[in-house]
């Protein structure tokens, strides 16, 4: 039994332009202590999937499917029950620390506040724990700083501390390295990995950066136009991809020749029939435009392709 079992999760948004099919029958399992990277180009539905797990989608979202965590379907919980899960069981690290941190509180206060509120810890105990955590994340001596007094990387670490202080079993990080310069990427990934290990947690990492996925994940899931196309062990997916889209994504990396994926990105309102990648696929056959491919097993996972 996986720690988090996402089954046939579909999300659509009612918009004036039409129904946006942002995620279609997404099935993914996050195992205990595992790091799963969810990759795919911009707009393919990665954030929608994690926000659906956390029940943080706006009111125009229609959500179907199940998200089983410790035997309970999160999608069936009411807001009060879900508020208890957020932070304590499942924590999310958002991309932008300046939006997630409060500018008028010291970082140590921001970390200890959730312990006081959610775990009903005493102030002194909460301060002790938050100070230890900040020190482990390399912010010793900076506990009493305000966010504006810290560098972007330090704020990122402060935010990681806020996310993991309650000892969540699942850490979700949505593009935590987007926009960081290369020297910071390794550091931030290191901190997230450390936080995961300290907690004995599992990590669901959203990234469009295959190199980040290679460095940190055990398993990779590749998303295209709202669907998961391939899942497998990281080495297998990156070295011997089974889906033509995964191959195209890898070929578009600078170190592999920067080959752009031919053709335009698909519409999420009117996605291609059959396999959603078929209009851009060099291997397409007639069947691909008619039938949605079924999942087929690979050595370490599965692929959705009729080739």
For residue 217, the 8-state DSSP code is -
Q: Taking CB under 5 A as the rule, does residue 47 contact Mg ion?
A: yes
What's the CA gap between 257 and 106, in Å, rounded? Answer: 46
Q: Is residue 177 part of the contact set for Mg ion (CB under 5 A)?
A: no
Judged by CB under 5 A, does residue 51 bind Mg ion?
A: no
Reading phi first (left if > 0) and then psi (alpha if -120 to 50, else beta), residue 221 is in beta
**Nearer residue to ligand ATP within complex by CB, 43 or 301:** 43
Candidates 190, 195, 189; CA nearest to 163 is 195
- Residue 20 binding result from Mg ion, ligand ATP, none, given CB thresholds of 5 to 8 Å by partner type: ligand ATP
Half-sphere exposure of 68 (CA within 13 A, CB side): 12
Contacts 24+ apart (CB under 8 A), 115-119: 115/165, 115/166, 118/84, 118/87, 118/88, 118/166, 119/88, 119/166
Nearer to Mg ion, 46 or 278 (CB): 46
Give yes or no for residue 44 binding ligand ATP (CB under 6 A): yes
Rule CB under 6 A: is residue 261 a binding residue for ligand ATP?
A: no
By beta-carbon proximity to ligand ATP, the closer residue of 45 and 244 is 45
Binding mask 134-173 for ligand ATP (x = CB under 6 A): ----------------------------------------
Out of ligand ATP, Mg ion, none, what residue 22 binds, judged by CB under 5 to 8 A for its kind, is ligand ATP
Neighbours of 207 (CB within 10 A): 24
Rounded CA-CA distance 6/179 in Å is 29
Please pick, from the candidates 46, 169, 276, 280, the single residue that binds ligand ATP as defined by CB under 6 A: 46
Which candidate, 243, 254, 253, places its Cα nearest to that of 283? 243
- Nearest in space to 9 (alpha carbons), one of 55, 43, 70, 78: 55
42 touching ligand ATP, by CB under 6 A: yes
Q: Which is nearer to ligand ATP, 60 or 122 (CB)?
A: 60
Judged by CB under 6 A, the residue of 24, 35, 47, 199 near ligand ATP is 47
| Total Cβ atoms within 10 A of residue 81 | 12
Output 119 or 208, the one with its CB closest to ligand ATP. Answer: 208
Which among 26-34, 46-54, 182-190, 193-201 is the span making contact with Mg ion, rule CB under 5 A? 46-54
What is the C-alpha separation between 118 and 171, in angstroms, rounded? Answer: 17
Q: Rule CB under 5 A: which residues touch Mg ion?
A: 47
Where on the chain is the footprint of ligand ATP (CB under 6 A)?
13, 15, 20, 22, 40, 42-48, 58, 60, 208, 268
């Amino acid at each position: 039994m996986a720690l988090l079992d996402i089954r046939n999760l579909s999300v659509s948004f009612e918009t004036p332009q039409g129904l946006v099919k942002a995620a279609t029958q997404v099935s993914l399992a996050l195992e205990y202590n595992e790091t799963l990277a969810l990759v795919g180009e911009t707009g393919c539905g990665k954030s929608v999937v994690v926000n659906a797990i956390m029940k943080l989608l706006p009111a125009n979202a229609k959500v179907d499917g199940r998200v089983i965590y410790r035997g309970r379907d999160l999608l069936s919980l009411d807001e009060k029950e879900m508020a208890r899960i957020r932070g304590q069981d499942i924590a999310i690290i958002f991309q932008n620390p300046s939006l997630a941190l409060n500018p008028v509180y010291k970082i140590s206060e921001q970390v200890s506040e959730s312990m006081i509120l959610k775990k009903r810890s005493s102030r002194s105990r909460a301060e002790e724990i938050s100070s230890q955590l900040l020190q482990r994340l390399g912010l010793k001596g900076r506990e009493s700083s305000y966010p504006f007094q810290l560098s972007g990387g330090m704020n990122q670490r402060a935010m990681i501390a806020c996310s993991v202080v309650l000892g969540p079993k699942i850490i979700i990080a949505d593009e935590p390295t987007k926009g960081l310069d290369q020297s910071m990427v390794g550091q931030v990934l290191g901190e997230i990995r450390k936080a995961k290990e300290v907690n004995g947690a599992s990590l669901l990492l959203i990234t469009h950066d295959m190199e980040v996925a290679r460095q940190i994940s055990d398993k990779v899931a590749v998303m295209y136009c709202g669907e998961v196309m391939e899942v497998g062990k990281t080495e297998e997916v990156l070295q011997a991809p089974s889906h033509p889209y995964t191959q195209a994504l890898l070929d578009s990396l600078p170190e592999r020749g920067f080959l752009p994926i031919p053709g335009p990105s698909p519409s999420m309102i009117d996605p291609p029939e059959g396999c959603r990648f078929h209009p851009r696929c060099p291997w397409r056959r007639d069947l691909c435009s008619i039938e949605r491919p079924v999942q087929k097993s690979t050595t370490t996972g599965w692929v959705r392709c009729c080739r």
